Structure 1
Amino acid sequence: METLVQVAQLLLALSILVGIHEGGHMVAAKMFGMKVEKFFIGFPPTLFSFKKGETEYGLGAIPLGGFVKISGMIDESMDKEQMAQPPQPWEFRSKPAWQRLIVMLGGIIVNVVAGVIAMIILTYNVGDEYIPSTYVKENGVQAFKYGEQFGFQNGDKILNINGEDYERFSDVTDPAIFLDSDAYYTVERNGQQVKITVPDGALDLMSKEKTFKQEFLYPRIPFVVAYPEDEEYQQNSNAKRVGILQGDKIEKVGDQYINYWDQMKPALAQFAGGVAAVRVERNGESFDFEVPINKDTTMGIMVGSMLSEEFIRNEYSFGEATAKGTADAFNLVIVNARAMGKMFSGDLSARSLSGPIGIVNLFPKAWDWNQFWYTTAFISMILAFMNLLPIPALDGGHVMFLLYEMISGKAPSDKFLENAQKVGMIILLALMVFVFGNDILKLFGI
């Protein structure tokens, strides 16, 4: 069911984004008097269509794209019969190069505008909340699987990143860090400063492992007792039976003082299968209990985080949201452009590319409109960037040839453009096969 919710969100997002992208081309074309023959969301076979004026509007059965067919334009339809006829005044090829350029940029422009507007509205309506760096510098982090691989230890206090101060804990896991050469963290460990260098292949690891952020680092959590609502769990809880209550703060296990969650399991390990003296703090008073410890070093409690008290929440005026939302939207493109540069230089594996299956995982498993619009805005900005790449068959390929025409004063021949379109389509098909293959391999953990 969760996967169906994610797929439904992806299909809705793609329908919206493809619709406005192709709509950008169509509106620009009609503005300059070009004939638009078809406007479709999805690819054939056709589910339904209707004609209004000179344009046929329709929905295709394959919901992973869309197209707009403009008369007199060499595109994926490869309509050679029409191109063999004399140019007509309403055709794309009959219009000045600057008008054709605007038509080709129309889809990219509306995707950028849509992404920016969505980010501005989200920033204004939702604001943001974060764990401040001051908390991490005072309490340190807990290192999980990948954090330990990097060289972090529980309790490390991250002082700076690449020698620069940071504002919020989320900056610690910002992908942009892993794009920098010789990136490093400076931490305080046992009163001394330690430099932790980001290892080679960190970005590959981050892009390949879906659980990277959850298994990297997290601020240390004060240990407060919690119980799940499951009555059977509570009945079998040793801690519950001896009188430890939800909300109690664990102070001590045996002779070891407890401040954070990561200290609890090692403290209990020495009492596995036996009984531990446990002291808790409750409403300013201390209480001592003798608690049987299971052989798996548990005593039937969960950690109840008080970390939410440390969160800082920001709300923004519309002017502030406009500036921040715009910057955040373009930062998404900048990070991905840098990652692509790393890919071409060989510093980042092409295995990090994801197709539709990988993109599904960007959406939450339960429907959340705020997260849906954030992810849709992200895809919109990336769609604009990818379409601008100078590959024939993409908008960027058409833009490249039009700029050549405007600078040189000489348009490439129709034959050349037809062959370039074929090459571009082969490149895109090969890329689609590659990213689908990537997605499938990642599903099987390969």
Structure 2
Amino acid sequence: MARFSFLASILSALLALPLVAAVPMSDAHVGERAKAVRPQAREVLSNARAIGVSTAAPQFVAYFDKFVSFDSLPDPSLLKGFTVFALAFVYPSSAVDNAGVWESMTAAQRATTKAAYNAAGISLIVSAFGSGETPTSQDPTTVANFIASYVLTYGLDGVDIDYEDFTAFESTGTAVGWLSTLTKVLRQQLPQGQYILTHAPVAPWFSPGLWPGNGYLGVHAAVGSLIDWYNVQFYNQGVTEYVTCAGLLTASSSTWPQSSVFQIAANGVPLNKLVIGKGATTADANNGFIDPGTLAGCVAQAKSQGWSAGVMEWQYPNGGSAWITEVRADSWPVGGGGVTTTSTTTKSTSTSSTSSTGTGGSCSGIAAWSSALAYPAGSQVTSGGILWTANQWNDDEIPGGSSGAWDKVGSCATAATAHPAGATAKANKTVDAKLTSAAAAPKATAP
């Protein structure tokens, strides 16, 4: 197709630039150093199997490829605000860079480090492939078995598939089937709910009808139910691509049609599986950079229209806690609560404590529910003489309705007319009106 030749010209131009990768890059020299210190024998961690990792939105993901230390990972306090830390990379038959560093650590070091990360609410995973690998020529079952063995042997919480074999995806047409098989085999060995399994496609691969097998829409149709979320790379696809809130969220260019967040969702991918990926600094990508303050506004706009998937950055340490704190400031402030981490019991505990059918007591000071307001999680309202608590952000979802956005506390005697804390009058919203219609379509298509 004509689109292929256009992309080929873009890729050829990129190859002439100092940064040659289309997306996350590994440092070849670092990789060799990591391989040099990695022991040959593998130590299997006792009780290494991950239990109860969280895959609930939002997720805030950092990749770690840039070499820092041969024998340790960053202290989790430096990653406050992130929920997932991805070690890069595991290849089809080896581990390099910081995945190699993790392998080279002793079993005791790995166990202590992982326990510290999990205690801080951070899942520790490995990322596979990256821009340095074209794995499609190898048997997907064999590759999946190696990756799963790495996760299990070295006690990690899951794996991210950062597949960047552009020729196989865009020309030969072998990628969709290969990725589908890889994902199925990984899921067989890394069960859902116990291990994280994500993919990190470039955003244009979601453009419908543009790629063999319908690109990542084809991957999602085949194995999307097995994938916890997509760390979508909204960068390195052209200097004018995904650099404004509108281009990122609602109106991608004609070059990569229907590849913004809400457009992808409208084509059948669940909205809250679409994590927004961006380079942490201008040095982390060839193009597509949005400064963290502006990105915070885009994230808040998307959240106001029902999106809650989260944000991914390439890469730590260029973007650490300060970066993600700024990006989350207008939506999920760090330290402000409302984000599920590695525990999967939080929601069920909260639900059981707020689903009482007993007496809610006096509702003095609690406003009646209003269709004119949008409610963040934790808001309380009265409706039908009942006290209700919002278990998620919601807009025009009546308590007791089919959405399940409200938990029943119990009956109460009185109600006030003041707005509940945190509720936002719709008339005061400052979001792009285009998001309203774009956000409505995905609800019917989510599995």
Superposed pair shares fold, TM > 0.5? no
* Structure with more of its chain in helix, by fraction: 1
TM value normalised by structure 1: 0.22
Greater C-alpha Rg = 1
Ranked by relative contact order (alpha carbons within 8 Å, sequence separation 6 or more), the top structure is 1
TM value normalised by structure 2: 0.22
